[in-house]
Structure 1
Amino acid sequence: MNDVQIACESDTDLEIDAALLFYRARANGAVYATQHAVRVVDDRPALLPGVPLTLEALAEFADLAARRTSYRGFVHERVVYLAPNVLVWWVPACTRRVWFQHTGELGNASGDCQHPPLVFVATRGKWSVFSLRENARPDARTALYRAPYFNVWEDGRICIGNVVTPDTIDSDSIKPYEDAFFRSRFTHANADKLIKGRGGAVRLWKQLLAGAPFPLHQLIDAKCTLADVVKTISTED
């Protein structure tokens, strides 16, 4: 067993007070919990008989834990879904600079160009992006489209590579996530088809770098809604 390091702001004496035991049913995964008082005899703690953990006690425990683990504060205006270790937000259509480090026609091109409305999804160890057809705040029923960027997989996952992403997942990390994405060097396509039309993504970005408007009608349907993505995240978690 590994040692547990407990950090306190000042010298604090900690004494064991109680213990929670969780039982899981193999058949259906149902969880049962009991709470046990602890008695210390000869400097050795011993569990006393337990009692079922009540909803009130569980709520108190969850609230104490949430004060340390969950985000508390004003929610960013572009957040559309927020849960512990899950953040979903949208970015209106905009003009931003991009950089390429491409072995093909784009080479080391860079410049300001138009971008479609986007939806970013950040979770522990995973980061995804999708496009929108309409420049409006999405809701659960909004259809998502593939984000036509290099370094993005067909299912929306972003290849992080050596990009530094925020350590926390909350409203304050939106700008660092966006900067990490847009300021990265787009190097190669991670999907066979990122956009409709001849020439694919390479032709698209050459035109955008030349000042063309973004062709929203050429976005490829991701065949999912925002609710579908959130449901998938919840299942994986």
Structure 2
Amino acid sequence: MKDLTDDLTAFYQPKMALLFYKGKGRHAEMFVESYDIDAKGSPINAHPLSVREAQKLVKALQVGSQADRMLKTSGILGTHILYTDPSKNKVIWFTRSTRRKMYFSDLLGIPNGMASVPPMLWCADRESLSVYALGNDRRPNERTKLYHAPFFNIYQSGNVCMGTVDVEIGTSLTIEQFTLAWEEYFFNSYFNHLLEGHNPVEGNCVMLWEDLVDGQGTFPMDQLKRTGTTIKDLIQ
């Protein structure tokens, strides 16, 4: 456990004082005068607050929580982002069909390698991830029906079991960093078993991925199973 003694007994030396002036009247202007503090704690060197001092003051007064600073965007949101709720650190986004490097446990007997994956719908907060498959590459809407994601390690609800993966989603990530982090956690972990007897595809899940790994074909969309869930259900 961290020893907090030094933090609790730290001595802070005053360095600067601010004096605010305001003229008379409802719309009177205001200005700020800055004072340095000498070794005896007395104010000296009065001068108008400089731009640099004002910038330091703004930085010092940024008292918002880390949660308030999370899920900001570094620019215009990508069209793959469907929904955000910063108060819950929650994002819903989608990815189009592509090829991904996939890893499987030795128990499955499936070699690691590149494989085609279907369009996917992702729903995550800082602690958990749910994934689903989509029927096509078009941008979905709240009425879009979802399919079970055709992977191992996923409950029937869509929630992903991350097993022993040490998930660390930072508290000040942009939306872009947040979504990328979850995608990397998901595909860089080892797929190893079906959960609670849930088979997410119409056929044999092991045989499906044996055929897809290092193959050049696209994902067979007729293997997907409907969930009865829509994006609107995930938002509520």
Q: Verify the 8 A CA contact 1:102 1:188 in the aligned structure 2.
A: no
TM-score between both structures, scaled by the size of structure 2? 0.65
Partner residue of 1:78?
A: 80
**Residue aligned with 1:103, SS:** helix
- Structure 1 stretches lacking a partner, 5+ long: 13-63, 232-237
Q: Does 1:203 align with 2:207?
A: yes
139-148 or 174-183, larger mean C-alpha shift: 174-183
Moved more, 139-148 or 123-132: 123-132
Give CA deviations for 1:10-65 in whole Å, capped at 9, x if unaligned: 989xxxxxxxxxxxxxxxxxxxxxxxxxxxxxxxxxxxxxxxxxxxxxxxxxxx77
Paired letter, 2:219: F
Aligned 8 A contact 2:129 2:182 in 1: no
Deviation at 1:72, TM superposition (A): 3.0
- Larger RCO (alpha carbons 8 Å, 6+ apart): 2
1:125 deviates by 2.0
Residues 113-124 of structure 1 mapped to structure 2, 5 A cutoff: 113-124=115-126
Corresponding letter in the other structure for 2:125? T
The structure that has the greater radius of gyration is 2
1:210 Cα shift? Answer: 4.8
* 1:171 and 2:181 correspond: no
Is the CA contact 2:155–2:198 (under 8 Å) kept in the aligned structure 1?
no
Shift of residue 113, structure 1, vs aligned partner: 0.8
Residue type of the partner of 2:68?
R
What RMSD over aligned residues (CA atoms) do the two structures have, in Å? 2.7
Equivalent residue letter for 2:181: P
Which of residues 191, 199, 207 is equivalent to 1:193? 199
Per the alignment, residue 32 of structure 1 pairs with none
- Whether the 8 Å CA contact 2:71–2:178 is kept in 1: the answer is no
User: What letter corresponds to residue 170 of structure 2 in structure 1?
Assistant: D
Counterpart position of 1:53: none
2:60 corresponds to which residue? none
1:150 matched to 2:156? The reply is no
**Aligned residue type for 2:199:** K
Q: How far has the Cα of 1:69 moved from its partner?
A: 4.2
Match of 1:129 in 2: 131
Task: List gaps (5 residues or longer) in structure 2.
Answer: 1-6, 15-63
Equivalence map 1:1-237=2 (5 Å):
68-69=68-69, 71-73=71-73, 74=75, 75-84=77-86, 85-106=89-110, 109-165=111-167, 166-168=169-171, 170-190=175-195, 191-197=197-203, 200-211=204-215, 212-231=217-236
Whether the 8 Å CA contact 1:133–1:217 is kept in 2: the answer is: no
Moved more, 171-180 or 69-78: 69-78
Runs of 4+ in 1 over 6 A off after TM superposition: 64-67
Q: Deviations over 1:134-159 (max 9, x none)?
A: 11111111110000111111111011
Aligned residue-pair number: 171
Alpha-carbon distance between aligned partners in 1 of 2:147 and 2:211, rounded to the nearest angstrom: 20
Offset, 1:70: 5.0
TM-score by length of 1: 0.64
Q: After the TM superposition, which of the residue ranges 161-170 and 95-104 deviates more from structure 2?
A: 161-170
171 and 210 in structure 1: CA distance in 2 versus 1, 3 angstrom threshold: closer
